Amino acid sequence: MSPPPPTSPAAPEFDQFAGDYDAALNEGLKFSGEAKEFFAENRVKWFKGRLGDALKPGCRCLDYGCGTGTATPYLMETLGLAQLTGVDLSEESLAMARKDHGSPQVNFQPLAALRDLPDEFDLGYCNGVFHHIPPAERAGCAAAIFRSMKPGATFALWENNAWNPIVRFMMSRVPFDADAIVLFPGEARRLMRDAGFEIVSTDSLFVFPAALAPLRVLEPALCKLPLGGQYQVLCRKPVR
């Protein structure tokens, strides 16, 4: 198997942000009134809800571009995983993830390890990674994810909503997001479809800030409108 492209999630410059990642991210998120944990938890809850009967006991999951492991406890507990593997290009981020979240059921590996894990995972998750990957290299990264999924596996790609001007403003306040190249939902679907996935659904989430939290009960009804701060493209590797 040919190796995945050399670039990818959390490019090496993320090493310099690993120790201050939370502070840098929360500098942008403060305008929402929520911390990163709120978004991490609710992304995974939404993913679980969309999985439905596809979520089976004892699943193995890939967290592509895991960073410092923010999603790890939510993926493990909410999805009831047997095993979670996080991959990232930033060695400093991986070191922090191992320190904070490593366990016999959770392991964190360099991105290059993905080439040795063909057809390994039942589920996949990726949040806010592809807008850091140069557009010319995104197809290779999507193909590497596709190879690592078992036939029938479900993959959730989360990205910041490029249609939302508030999101763009918030990203401009985050040092490692300021020069990111955002993906519109159609681009994300095309990227995953070209890699071989079947598109299951596209949902928008995080419409209301903390100041309007009582209105969040409306979000399920609004999820098909491109209003939220992020969107999820849910896709499946064909069984054949």
The structure tokens listed for 196 are 């071989």
Q: What is the pLDDT of residue 85?
A: 98
Q: What is the pLDDT of residue 53?
A: 87
Q: Strand 230-236 vs strand 149-160: parallel, antiparallel, or unpaired?
A: antiparallel
Distance CA 52, CA 39 (A): 20
Distance from the first to the final alpha carbon of the chain: 19
Determine contact, residues 34/175, Cβ cutoff 8 Å: no
Q: What is the pLDDT of residue 6?
A: 40
The continuous run of DSSP H or E covering 59 comes out as none
Determine contact, residues 85/63, Cβ cutoff 8 Å: yes
Residue burial 38-48, b: 16+ Cβ < 10 Å; e: rest: ebbbbbbebbb
Q: What is the pLDDT of residue 35?
A: 79
- CA atoms 162, 85, 6, 93: torsion sign: positive
Domains of the chain from N-terminus onward = 12-236 (3.40.50.150)
Q: What is the pLDDT of residue 202?
A: 98
Nearest to 88 by CA among 47, 120, 133: 133
Nearest to 178 by CA among 17, 19, 59, 8: 17
pLDDT (tens place) for every residue of the chain, 240 residues total: 333 344 444 445 555 544 455 555 555 555 567 778 899 999 999 999 999 988 999 999 999 999 999 999 999 999 999 999 999 999 999 999 999 999 999 999 999 999 888 899 999 999 999 999 999 999 999 999 999 999 999 999 999 998 887 777 676 666 666 678 899 999 999 999 999 999 999 999 999 988 899 999 999 999 999 999 999 999 999 997
Distance CA 30, CA 18 (A): 19
Q: What is the pLDDT of residue 176?
A: 63
Q: What is the pLDDT of residue 8?
A: 46
Determine contact, residues 93/15, Cβ cutoff 8 Å: yes
